[in-house]
Structures are given as C-alpha cells and as structure tokens.
C-alpha cells in the first residue's frame, strides 16, 4: 500500500522551510508534482512514485539519515548546548534539526558515534535487553594482571545495584587493551577499571554493534553509513 503524505509535510521534511514558509512557496507556484504546479498544502503524494520539484529542482526523498562520526575529545554528545561545542557542529551542510546522537560518549572520550533521525533504530540499539557490544581502545598506566582481567571478564562492582555484565578483555601491549562491554552505564569503562585498581588514561570507542570506526575518518570527520552498514545495524 502506498505511503501517502501531505505535500507541505514532505517539503518540511526536505527542510525547505517552516510549515508557513512552505505554504508560501506553494502559493507562489514554486512546487510541481509530476511536472504540474501544485499549490495545495494538503495535496497527498507518494514520495516513491511522484516526482516533486522545487523551482525546477527534483527533490529526492529520504526519510532516515545515518552518519558515522569520529568524535574528538573536548566536545559533548548532545544536540545543542549554549556554552559547549556539541558533536552536531561537525555535520556542516548535512546538519538537520531532527538528527541526534545514539547513546553518548563522555566529553574526553573519542571514537565512533552514530548520528541519525531514526528513533526506532536508536531505541532498539540502546535497549538494555539487546546487550549490544561496544569495544573500546583503552590506555592504562601499567599492565593488567591476571586477577584484574578475570575480574573484568566476570563482572565487577562499580557501585550500582548489580555488578557489570561480564566483559571481554584483549591485551594489546603492557599499557593498552581492547575492552568490550554490552551495557551503557554512566562512565562505565572508567568505573570498571577503577574497580580493579587501575585507571583510564585514554579512551576511544572503536566499534558499536555492527559498526566499526572507519579508519580513514580523521577526528571530527564523518560520513554517511553504507547500505550494508545500515542493514547490519537493523539486523543486529
């Protein structure tokens, strides 16, 4: 069954303007549907089959947007802030009012962050029931001993109602590890390392569910997800 939407809503979704601005554009005859000027805001269209043009330029409808950002340290994971710089500031011309970060990374944490306007996908990924794995590259002051590693992999008390879900530790060298967790508690990685008598000197998220940070992305850079990545996220 065709998905019909109001013409003015479609134009607003394309971010051509506010609802009142869009109605003014329609009244002036700036919009055509299949080559015919349409001035009615409540005219129903099917974005998949109708050709909508604004001042002669055909508009390609896209309902959801997905971006991978390599978050640098020093910016906060929020849609807006009156004082501090947010992750949304890196999107430039791709910035949309309905985009938001999925989950959060602390201000001093770097790495993979997903930005989207797909609320359903975000909810599914962040649901505690899903236990979506997140892997971090962690720098520690000194090599973790076997007892510390076993504690992390069995679950540790970080001061919450219950211990953390068992994590996975991969030793890279004496001062670097990969730590994979499947929860999203506040400052979780830092609290876990503190619980075993260590600390985090540097933290970078390198994977999130089916997504792996693109090695070609510099800090502060982003790109749209591929169709394969979007499909993998939805099927995770």
141-196 pLDDT, tens digit each: 999 999 999 999 999 999 999 999 999 999 999 999 999 999 989 999 999 999 99
pLDDT at 70 over 80: yes
pLDDT band at 128 (very low <50, low <70, confident <90, very high): confident
pLDDT band at 3 (very low <50, low <70, confident <90, very high): confident
pTM of the model: 0.83
In order of 23, 32, 134, 159, the CA distances from 6 in angstroms are 12, 14, 40, 51
pLDDT in the model for residue 2: 56
pLDDT in the model for residue 52: 94
Q: Which CATH superfamily is domain 66-235 in?
A: Pseudouridine synthase (3.30.2350.10)
17: left (phi over 0), alpha (psi -120 to 50) or beta: left
pLDDT at 57 over 70: yes
In order of 8, 11, 55, 76, the CA distances from 28 in angstroms are 14, 14, 10, 42
158: left (phi over 0), alpha (psi -120 to 50) or beta: alpha
pLDDT in the model for residue 63: 82
pLDDT band at 93 (very low <50, low <70, confident <90, very high): confident
CATH topology of domain 5-59: 3.10.290
Please give the mean pLDDT across all residues of the chain: 93
Report the percent of the chain where pLDDT is more than 70. 99
- The closest alpha carbon to 25, from 50, 59, 2, belongs to 59
pLDDT in the model for residue 92: 84
**Catalytic residue positions?**
106
Q: Where are the domains of the chain?
A: 5-59, 66-235
pLDDT at 229 over 90: yes
pLDDT in the model for residue 1: 42
pLDDT in the model for residue 165: 96
Residue positions counted in the chain: 236
pLDDT in tens, 187-221: 999 999 999 999 999 999 999 999 999 999 999 99
pLDDT band at 109 (very low <50, low <70, confident <90, very high): very high
């Amino acid at each position: 069954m065709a998905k019909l939407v109001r013409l003015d809503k479609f134009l607003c979704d394309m971010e051509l303007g506010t609802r009142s601005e869009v109605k003014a554009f329609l009244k002036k005859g700036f919009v055509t549907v299949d080559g015919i000027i349409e001035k009615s805001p409540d005219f129903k269209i099917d974005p998949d089959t109708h050709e909508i043009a604004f001042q002669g330029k055909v508009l390609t409808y896209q309902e959801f947007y997905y971006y991978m950002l390599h978050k640098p340290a020093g910016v906060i994971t929020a849609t807006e802030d009156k004082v501090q710089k947010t992750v949304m500031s890196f999107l430039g011309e791709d910035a949309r009012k309905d985009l938001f970060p999925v989950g959060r990374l602390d201000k001093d944490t770097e790495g993979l962050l997903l930005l989207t306007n797909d609320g359903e996908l975000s909810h599914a990924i962040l649901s505690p029931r899903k236990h979506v794995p997140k892997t971090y590259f962690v720098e520690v002051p000194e090599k973790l001993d076997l007892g510390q590693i076993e504690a992390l992999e069995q679950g540790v008390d970080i001061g919450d109602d219950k211990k953390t879900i068992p994590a996975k530790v991969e030793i890279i060298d004496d001062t670097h590890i990969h730590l994979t967790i499947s929860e999203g508690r506040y400052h979780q990685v830092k609290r876990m390392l503190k619980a075993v008598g260590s600390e985090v000197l540097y933290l970078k998220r390198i994977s999130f569910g089916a997504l792996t940070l693109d090695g070609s992305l510099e800090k502060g850079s982003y790109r749209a997800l591929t169709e394969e990545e979007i499909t993998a996220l939805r099927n995770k």
